[in-house]
Structure 1
Amino acid sequence: MKQSLFQEKYPIFTLEVAKSETTYQNVDEILAYLKAQIEADPKCRFIAEFDHYSHTSALPEAEIAPEIKDAKNIVFCFGIKLPNPEVMAVRPRSIGVTELEDRFVIAFMEAPMPVANNAMEAWAKGIRNR
C-alpha cells in the first residue's frame, strides 16, 4: 500500500494488485467483495456504486487513458460521529477500483479517522488473495 499526495494536496492510499495475485476477475467482482466488507461492519453503511468509466466515456469531451479498461467507485460512510458541520466535507468515503490490462489499482483518500483508514486498508489488501 502506497501513501502519497495526489496533485500535491490530496492524501491518498493506492494499492496495485496484479491479476495473477488475485482470484477476482474484474472490477465488479472486487466491488462485490468490498460491499460485503462494508455490510459486515456495523459502523459502516453502503451508499452506492458509481460507474466512472461509463459516465466519462458517455461525455462528448471524454478523456480516458487507453490503458484503463474499467473504473468504478464504491461509496459508503463510517459516520460514527457528527461533531460539527465541517466533517460533512470529508464524508462519505469512496474506494476507486480501476482495471488495467495486467492489474487492478485500488485507491482511496485518507480519512480523518484512523478506524476508517485501517478498515479500508485491510479491505484493499484482502483483494490480493493469492
Structure 2
Amino acid sequence: MTRSILLDTHPMYAIKIPKSEMNRTAVPEIIDYFKGKIEENPEAVFITVFDHYAHTRELNGEIMEGLVSAQNLIFCFGHTIKNIDILAFRPKSIAIAETEDSFVFEFLETPRPEVNAWMTSWIKGLQTTETDS
C-alpha cells in the first residue's frame, strides 16, 4: 500500500493489483470478501455499496477511459463517540476501481492506526502474491 496526500490535504492509502495477482476476479466477489471481513470484526458494521460508475453514467458524467467499474464499500468502525468531531471520520469507505487489467483499492486514512492496518490487511488478502505497489 502506498500512503499519499490527496489534494494537499487528505491522507489516503492506495494499491493497484493486476488481475493476474488476484484471488478474486470480479467486483461482486471482492465485495462479498470485504463483507465477510466486516462481519468478522466485532467493531465493524456493513452499511451499503455505492455504485459510483452507474451513478456517474446516469448523470451523463465523464468517466475515464479504461474504467470498467467503480464502487465504494461503505461500513463503519465505531465503538465509542467520545466527542462529536469523530463523526466526520465515519463511516469508512474502500473504493474499488476495476480497469481492464487491474483493480485499484483506496481508502482515506483514519485517526486509528489499527483501523488502517485492518483495511490494509483485508486488501492485501486479495493478492495471490504480496507486493508493496
TM-score range, shorter chain: over 0.9
* Separation in 2, partners of 1:28, 1:9: 31
Q: Which residue in the other structure is 1:120 paired with?
A: 119
Q: Alignment length, in residue pairs?
A: 129
Q: Distance in 2 between matches of 1:104 and 1:22?
A: 9
Q: Which amino acid aligns with 2:43?
A: K
- Please state whether the residue corresponding to 2:116 is helix, strand or coil: helix
Structure 1: any 5+ residue segments left out of the alignment? none
Shift of 1:92: 0.4
- Give the residue type in structure 2 aligned to 1:36: G
Moved over 6 A (4+): none
Q: What residue identity is the alignment partner of 2:101?
A: D
In structure 1, distance between residues paired with 2:98 and 2:54: 13
- The residue that corresponds to 2:109 in the other structure is 110
Give the letter aligned to residue 72 of structure 1. Answer: Q
Shift of 1:129: 2.4
Residues 22-75 of structure 1 show CA distances to partners (whole Å, capped at 9, x for unaligned) of: 121121111111111001111111111111100111003x01101111010111
SS in 1 for 2:35: helix
CA distance in 2, matches of 1:28, 1:57: 19
TM-score by length of 2: 0.93
Stretches of structure 2 that go unaligned for 5 or more consecutive residues are none
Identity of aligned residues (%): 40
What amino acid sits opposite 2:92 in the alignment?
R
Matched, 1:15 2:15: yes
Alignment partners' CA distance in 1, 2:70 and 2:26? 10
TM-score, length-scaled by structure 1:
0.95
- Asked if residue 35 in structure 1 is aligned to residue 35 in structure 2, the reply is yes
